[in-house]
Amino acid sequence: MGDIALRADHVSKVFGHSRVLDDVSFELRRGEVLCLAGENGCGKSTLIKILNGVHAPEAGAVFSFGDDTAIGHITPREARARGIHVIWQDLALFAHLSVAENIVFDDYVANPMRPLSYRAARQQAREVIERLGVQLDPDTRVEELSIARRQLVAIARVLRAGARIIFMDEPTASLTRNEVRTLLDLTRALSAQGISIVFVSHRLAEVLAVCQRVTVLRNGKLVGTYPTEGMTQARLSQLMTGQELNLVPRQTAPSGEPVLELRGLSRRGEFEDVSLTLNRGEILGLTGLLGAGRTELAHVVFGMTQPTAGEMRMHGKRLTLRSNRDAIRHGIAYVSEDRLNLGLVQSQSINMNTAVTVLGELEKPRGFLAPWRVRALTAEWIRRLGTKVSDAELAVSSLSGGNQQRVVIAKWLATKPEVLILDCPTVGVDIGAKAGIFEIIRQLADDGMAIILISDEAGEIWMNADRVIVLREGRVSQELTPADTTEESLEEIINA
Ligand SMILES: Nc1ncnc2c1ncn2[C@@H]1O[C@H](COP(=O)(O)OP(=O)(O)OP(=O)(O)O)[C@@H](O)[C@H]1O
Ligand SMILES: [Mg+2]
C-alpha cells in the first residue's frame, strides 16, 4: 500500500431524496495527477467535500491513507492532519492581507496567541514561493492580484501547511490560456515532488494533458478508472455520458436585416474603434484571447458601462444605454462569463432565480404573482436545458456548478431577448450539456434571435458561428466565415 496516498471505498451520499454518490471507490497514487471526470451534477464536488470532511458520507464508507488504518468518516481537522487540502474555486483568501500573511495564515489559526512576526512570515512565504518556482511578491496585497496569481497564493498556502494531497476543483475555469498552461506546468511540478493531485475540469484536452489517470463518474456511480495514455476526448466523453456525441457544424441559414450596429465604438483603455453589424437570425462569434476586450465590449452593449466614442444603433435608430435596465428594455440580454458571481441569489429557490427577470411579466394582467406561473416557467426551462434539479423549490446553492450555469442561461432566455450576448456560456458545463446548450442557441437563432457568442474555444466558435470577429488588444483584427476556414486555422488565429 506504500505507493497509495489515499483510498476511498464504498462512498455513498444522499441529499434529501436523491442519492448523489452510490458506492464509489477509487485510489490515488503517491505523486500522481488523477482527474475526476463526469457530467454536471455527477458528484465530483461532493466526493471532494466528503474526502475533506465538509460532508459526512453514508455509513459503509472506508478511507485509508498510506499505512494509516481505515476509518469511516473524517473531520476537516483530520483531513488537514493527513496533509489533505483543497483549492476551492473562490480560493478562500483574505483580500486585504498581503501574500505573505495569507500564506502563513494556517499557522496563525493554529497558534493565535503567538503570531509570527511579519519578517518571519515574509521569510517563510519566500521559501514556499521559491519551492513553487513562481514570481510573487510577498508584500503585495492579494486584492491587487489577478485570479491566476491569487490561485498561486492559495497553492503556496497549502504547500506551506504541509499538503501531500491537493484537490483542485475546476481550477482553470476562470484562467486565460497562458495562465492555464502555467497552472498545468505547476501541477506537473508538484506531482514530481511527490504530491498527489486530484484535478477536476470540463475541458477534456486539459484533462488528457495533465493527468496520468482519470476516474469517471456518471450519475453518482463509478464508471471506472482509466489511464489517459491512449485515451481520446471522444472516448472520454463517451465514458462520461454513456453516449456517442455526434457534433455537426451549424448549417448557416441566410440571415435577416441588421438588428444592432456598432460604429467606431470605443471605450478608452478597453477597446477601440469597433464596428460591426449583427443581423437577425445570426450567431456572431466574438473571439480573441481573454483580455482582448471582448467582455468590455459586451458590457458596453449591455449598458453596464458607457462608450467614450462611437455609437450604437438598433434597427437603425441611435441607441443610448444608461444602465443594463435600459438594455433589457431594448431587448438585449447578457449571460455573463463570471463563474463565481453568476448573478444568482444563492439562498433563493431555483424557481425564483429563473423567474426574476420576468416577474413583472408574470404578474400581468392582474398584478399578483401566481406561484404556479413561476413553477410552470421554470419547469419548461429545466426541461429545455436538461438541468439536473430534484426540486425547483430548493435553494439554487444546492445545484452543482454547471447546473447553476444553466439557471443563469434560462433566466436570460426567459426575457425573450432580441439580442442575446453569451459570454463564454459553457465554461464549467459538461461536454454533453455543451452540445445541448448549442442546440438551443442555434434554434433560437433560427427563430430570429440575434446572438453574439463570445468564446476562446476555437471549436465552439467554428461549429456554431455564422461569422466570426477576432479582437486583438481591443481592436478588430479579422473578420471571417467558419465555412471558409478550418477549426485548426481558427485556433491559430485566436492564439496568434
Ligand atoms: N447541499 C446540497 N443539498 C442538496 N443537494 C446537493 C447539495 N450539494 C450537492 N447536491 C446535489 O448533488 C449532486 C452532485 O453535485 P456536485 O456538486 O457534486 O456535482 P459536480 O459533479 O461537482 O457537478 P459540476 O460539474 O456541475 O460542478 C447534484 O445533483 C447536486 O444538486
Ligand atoms: Mg462541481
Q: Of 213, 241, 269, which residue constitutes the final position of a domain?
A: 241
Contact 437, 425 (CB under 8 A): yes
pLDDT band at 340 (very low <50, low <70, confident <90, very high): low
Examine the pLDDT at 27 and tell me if it is beyond 90.
Answer: yes
pLDDT band at 290 (very low <50, low <70, confident <90, very high): low
Query: How far apart, in Å, are the Cα atoms of 394 and each of 232, 254, 260, 297, 391?
Result: 37, 43, 38, 35, 6
Residues 351 and 236 placed together within one structural domain of the fold = no
Ligand with an atom nearest the CA of residue 398? 1
For residues 259-287, average pLDDT: 95
Query: How far apart, in Å, are the Cα atoms of 426 and each of 111, 230, 293, 316?
Result: 43, 26, 19, 32
Residues 182 and 119 placed together within one structural domain of the fold = yes
Residue 251 lies in a domain: no
Provide the pairing of β-strand 467-472 with 283-287. Answer: parallel
Ligand with an atom nearest the CA of residue 400? 1
Q: Is 392 in the pocket of ligand 1 (CB under 6 A)?
A: no
Whole-angstrom Cα distance, residue 16 to residue 38?
A: 22
Q: Of 209, 241, 273, which residue constitutes the final position of a domain?
A: 241
Residues 202 and 319 placed together within one structural domain of the fold = no
**Ligand 1: nearest atom to the Cα of 399:** 31
Query: How far apart, in Å, are the Cα atoms of 286 and each of 228, 415, 421, 425, 460?
Result: 33, 22, 10, 12, 11
pLDDT at 341: 61
Contact 265, 255 (CB under 8 A): no
Examine the pLDDT at 259 and tell me if it is beyond 80.
Answer: yes
Provide the pairing of β-strand 4-15 with 62-65. Answer: antiparallel
> How many structural domains does the chain have?
2
What does the block give as the cell for 377? Answer: 416557467
Residue 250 lies in a domain: no
Residues 225 and 277 placed together within one structural domain of the fold = no
Which protein residue has the closest C-alpha to ligand 1 atom 29? 41
CATH number for the domain harbouring residue 272: 3.40.50.300
Residue 421 lies in a domain: yes
Residues 478 and 408 placed together within one structural domain of the fold = yes
**Ligand 1: nearest atom to the Cα of 403:** 26
Torsions phi, psi of 270, nearest 5? Answer: -115, -55
Order of all β-strands in the sheet with 450-454: 332-335, 419-423, 450-454, 283-287, 467-472, 475-480
Which protein residue has the closest C-alpha to ligand 1 atom 8? 398
Q: Is 307 in the pocket of ligand 1 (CB under 6 A)?
A: no
Which protein residue has the closest C-alpha to ligand 1 atom 19? 41
Highest mean pLDDT among 106-110, 119-123, 185-189: 185-189
pLDDT at 1: 45
Residues 191 and 230 placed together within one structural domain of the fold = yes
Look at 168 and 65; give whichever has higher pLDDT: 168
Residue 175: name the closest of 344, 288, 291, 285 by CA. 291
Whole-angstrom Cα distance, residue 351 to residue 372?
A: 10
Look at 361 and 232; give whichever has higher pLDDT: 232
Residue 401 alpha carbon to ligand 1 centre in Å: 8
**Ligand 1: nearest atom to the Cα of 404:** 26
For residues 121-137, average pLDDT: 90
pLDDT at 211: 96
Residues 208 and 333 placed together within one structural domain of the fold = no
Whole-angstrom Cα distance, residue 125 to residue 151?
A: 15
> Among 49, 349, 400, 437, which residue has the most ligand 1 atoms within 8 Å of its CB, making it the best to mutate?
400
pLDDT at 484: 86
Mean pLDDT taken over the chain: 89
| For the chain, the helix, strand and coil percentages under 3-state DSSP, each to the nearest 5 | 35, 25, 40
Report every protein residue that has its C-beta within 5 angstroms of ion ligand 2. Answer: 45, 401
Examine the pLDDT at 236 and tell me if it is beyond 90.
Answer: yes
Which structural domain, as residue segments, surrounds residue 181?
4-241
Q: Is 397 in the pocket of ligand 1 (CB under 6 A)?
A: no
Residues 266 and 236 placed together within one structural domain of the fold = no
% of the chain at pLDDT higher than 70: 97
Q: Of 211, 241, 271, which residue constitutes the final position of a domain?
A: 241
Residue 452 lies in a domain: yes
Question: What DSSP state is assigned to residue 395?
Answer: B
What does the block give as the cell for 130? Answer: 521559491
Examine the pLDDT at 254 and tell me if it is beyond 80.
Answer: no
> Among 13, 20, 36, 382, which residue has the most ligand 1 atoms within 8 Å of its CB, making it the best to mutate?
20
Residue 142 lies in a domain: yes
Amino acid at 147: I
Residues 441 and 297 placed together within one structural domain of the fold = yes
Q: Is 20 in the pocket of ligand 1 (CB under 6 A)?
A: yes
Residue 169 alpha carbon to ligand 2 centre in Å: 7
pLDDT at 216: 97
Residue 325 lies in a domain: yes
Residues 317 and 216 placed together within one structural domain of the fold = no
Residue 246 lies in a domain: no
pLDDT at 2: 58
Q: Is 49 in the pocket of ligand 1 (CB under 6 A)?
A: no
Residues 339 and 236 placed together within one structural domain of the fold = no
Look at 121 and 36; give whichever has higher pLDDT: 36
Q: Is 391 in the pocket of ligand 1 (CB under 6 A)?
A: no
Q: Is 398 in the pocket of ligand 1 (CB under 6 A)?
A: yes
pLDDT at 342: 60
Residue-wise pLDDT tens digits, 418-470: 999 999 888 878 887 788 888 888 989 998 999 999 988 888 999 999 999 99
Residue 253 lies in a domain: no
Residues 282 and 230 placed together within one structural domain of the fold = no
Residue 255 alpha carbon to ligand 1 centre in Å: 40
